[in-house]
Amino acid sequence: MQLRVVTTVLVVGVGTVLVLGAFVLGQIRDGLIETRVDRILAESARDAASATDLVGAATAATPGDLQQFMNNLYESLRTVGGESRGLVILQAPQNDSDVILTAGVSSPELVGVITPEMRTAVDEGVAQPWQYVAMPGTGEPGLVVGSTLPFRDAGDYELYFVYSLADEQQTLGLIQQVLIGGGLVLIGLVLIQTWTVTLQVVRPVRHAAKVASRLADGLLSERMTVRGADEMATLATTFNDMAESLQRQITRMEDLSRLQRRFVSDVSHELRTPLTTIRMASDVLHDRREEFAPEVARSAELLANQIDRFEVLLSDLLEMSRIDAGAAQLEFETVDLADVVEDEVEAIRHAASGLGVEVRLHVAAGRHTASMDRPRVGRIVRNLLSNAVEHAQGGAVDVAVASHQRAVAVVVRDYGLGLTPAQVDRVFDRFWRADAARARTMGGTGLGLSIAREDAQLHGGRLEAWGQPGEGASFRLTLPRTARGLGQQPVLPLAMRADEFTALDGHGAAR
């Protein structure tokens, strides 16, 4: 910003100085030359008049005398002039007298500056013709003033005064130099001033930007220093007020959410004791349902089922609040992910075949060990598997395990119902279900995937989802092998195709 302001000032300043300088110089030149020309014209008119008087009164018997008179006149006119000037006397073209009087009365180098137009003007009797010329040799500017010298005995002659304007030109050059120098100094001063002024404005703005970015980084108690009572101080005060209210809001939200978490955890804990009692009572009823009337027996069964779901929900809630409170303790051990996945696949196989779903496990060659909390990873995989089986609609479920140097991964893919991209975005939200009214065969609380993702993140890993309506859904869990993180390269594609699963078998160890 500072640079921009200074550049603008520079451009505007240079422009102004140039225009102003040219104008002032023009005015001075006009004034200077005008006075000089006036003076020259007055002087030459006076001298020409006195010369004409002398010539008019001249009486000479012989041409020699006349020539003598002319020489004297030339000398006197040359020395009389107050200003440095040259003199040219020429015989008028229409003068056909045989007395020629111009010998030695003209500086030959000056004759060249008298133009034909000048001579015509003089001959035609124009009062006091004058003209700007370039001086011979130097090329400096000059001025020629013409007049006539009518001799009684020798016909008409022309008299020219040649003045040099070199002095004026020199003065003008000097003035120009002074103007340029002055302009440069002026621009320099203005630039320095602009620089310091913008610095005064820019510095607090930079300070504000720094404080704002620290605030954004979560340092909520960061404030601007308020100095003086100008606009910057107002900005700082307003900024600080904003930060203050932001901090208050955030603190309030934090308190609120802490309270909420406490509430959920307390309620879940409190519910556990009565639930255990209900569970025992229900178990008694369930065990003796044969003795009841059919509808009572059916009720006893329903009660037992719903209490099962209630227990799952409660334990999910407790787990959630434990994770939220940051109280989740991970116990790491080095485990082969393929072993964990194989155990879970075996565990679900029975329930799956009840739904006509075949679960196929594909394990890439090599070992897929990583440091992990085995029960938690097992729970993630169990969640993915039960979801896949539940949504497979009787189709197959493919499970792949592979690894590279940085990470191990498992992909669970079904070819059933699928998910829209919008649903994929929400699938990890708490309590979210694509269709809450959907027939629930294995039952869930809508907390399964959010807990799974939290678990993955506790490991420094990632849980991602993909889905296409009608093509099924795919979930990929990636866990780091070391503390260096997951690396850039994915271990397995997220939307894995059936042939990609079978390709793994080709290299894979038999399992």
Ligand X SMILES: Nc1ncnc2c1ncn2[C@@H]1O[C@H](COP(=O)(O)OP(=O)(O)O)[C@@H](O)[C@H]1O
Using Cβ positions, the residue closest to Mg ion within the complex turns out to be 448
SS3 at position 101: coil
Distance CA 141, CA 507 (A): 101
Q: Which of 118, 144, 449, 456 binds ligand X (CB under 6 A)?
A: 449
CB of 388 to ligand X, least distance (A): 5
Residue 228 region by backbone torsions, left for phi larger than 0, else alpha for psi between -120 and 50, else beta? left
Instruction: Enumerate residues 6+ apart whose C-beta is below 8 A from 378.
Output: 340, 343, 344
Please identify, among the stretches 33-41, 87-95, 241-249, 385-393, the one whose residues bind Mg ion according to the rule CB under 5 A: 385-393
b vs e for 223-239, b when ≥16 Cβ sit within 10 Å of the residue's Cβ?
A: bbeeeeeeebeeebeeb
For 54, phi then psi, to 5°, come to -60, -45
Residue 258 region by backbone torsions, left for phi larger than 0, else alpha for psi between -120 and 50, else beta? alpha
**Which of 161/428 has CB closer to ligand X?**
428
For residue 503, the surrounding DSSP H or E stretch is: helix 498-507
Beta bridge partners of 225: none
Q: Which of 92, 88, 112 is nearest to 100 (CA)?
A: 92
CB of 265 to ligand X, least distance (A): 20
**Which of 279/433 has CB closer to ligand X?**
433
Please identify, among the stretches 71-79, 206-214, 384-392, 483-491, the one whose residues bind Mg ion according to the rule CB under 5 A: 384-392
**Which of 63/444 has CB closer to Mg ion?**
444
Using Cβ positions, the residue closest to ligand X within the complex turns out to be 444
Contacted entry of ligand X, Mg ion, none for residue 478, CB cut-off 5 to 8 Å set by kind: none
Q: Which of 63, 446, 460, 490 binds ligand X (CB under 6 A)?
A: 446
Q: Which of 444, 460, 490, 493 binds ligand X (CB under 6 A)?
A: 444
x/- map, 429-448, Mg ion, by CB under 5 A = ---------------x---x
Contacted entry of Mg ion, ligand X, none for residue 397, CB cut-off 5 to 8 Å set by kind: none
Please identify, among the stretches 122-130, 184-192, 337-345, 439-447, the one whose residues bind ligand X according to the rule CB under 6 A: 439-447
Contact assessment for residue 53 and residue 92, using Cβ atoms and an 8 Å cutoff: no
Distance CA 235, CA 298 (A): 72
x/- map, 394-433, Mg ion, by CB under 5 A = ----------------------------------------
**Which of 243/449 has CB closer to ligand X?**
449
Q: What angle do CA 280, 283, 288 make, to 5 degrees?
A: 135
Site for ligand X, residues 466 to 485, rule: CB under 6 A? 473
**Which of 264/434 has CB closer to ligand X?**
434
Q: What angle do CA 153, 158, 161 make, to 5 degrees?
A: 135
**Number of residues that make up the chain:** 511
CB of 444 to ligand X, least distance (A): 2
**Which of 73/473 has CB closer to ligand X?**
473
For residue 370, the surrounding DSSP H or E stretch is: strand 369-372
Contacted entry of ligand X, Mg ion, none for residue 417, CB cut-off 5 to 8 Å set by kind: ligand X
**Which of 336/471 has CB closer to ligand X?**
471
Does 433 contact ligand X by CB under 6 A?
A: yes
**Token pair listed for 369:** 């060990």
Contacted entry of ligand X, Mg ion, none for residue 427, CB cut-off 5 to 8 Å set by kind: ligand X
Distance CA 247, CA 221 (A): 7
**Which of 448/508 has CB closer to ligand X?**
448
**Which of 303/452 has CB closer to Mg ion?**
452
> How far are the Cα atoms of 199, 232, 319 from residue 229, in angstroms, in the given order?
18, 8, 55
Does 474 contact Mg ion by CB under 5 A?
A: no
Residue 301 corresponds to which amino acid?
A: E
x/- map, 365-404, ligand X, by CB under 6 A = ------------------x---xx--x-------------
Q: Which of 158, 344, 414, 454 binds ligand X (CB under 6 A)?
A: 414
Number of residues located near ligand X, criterion CB under 6 A: 17
CB of 440 to Mg ion, least distance (A): 10
Q: Which of 417, 477, 486, 496 binds ligand X (CB under 6 A)?
A: 417
How many CA atoms does the CB half-sphere of 110 hold within 13 Å? 20
**Which of 224/465 has CB closer to ligand X?**
465
Contact assessment for residue 36 and residue 165, using Cβ atoms and an 8 Å cutoff: yes
Number of Cβ within 10 Å of residue 44's Cβ equals: 25
Q: Which of 44, 282, 321, 387 binds Mg ion (CB under 5 A)?
A: 387
> How far are the Cα atoms of 205, 381, 413 from residue 345, in angstroms, in the given order?
61, 9, 13
**Which of 232/400 has CB closer to ligand X?**
400
Contact assessment for residue 414 and residue 472, using Cβ atoms and an 8 Å cutoff: yes
The pairs formed by 73-77 with CB atoms below 8 angstroms and a separation of 24 or more are: 73/105, 74/104, 74/105, 77/47, 77/51, 77/159
Does 67 contact Mg ion by CB under 5 A?
A: no
Residue in the structure block whose two tokens are 């008409």:
156
**Which of 130/466 has CB closer to ligand X?**
466
Number of Cβ within 10 Å of residue 28's Cβ equals: 15
Distance CA 336, CA 367 (A): 7
**Token pair listed for 355:** 């739904």
Residues that bind Mg ion (CB under 5 A): 387, 444, 448
Residues that bind ligand X (CB under 6 A): 383, 387-388, 391, 414, 417, 419, 427, 432-434, 444-446, 448-449, 473
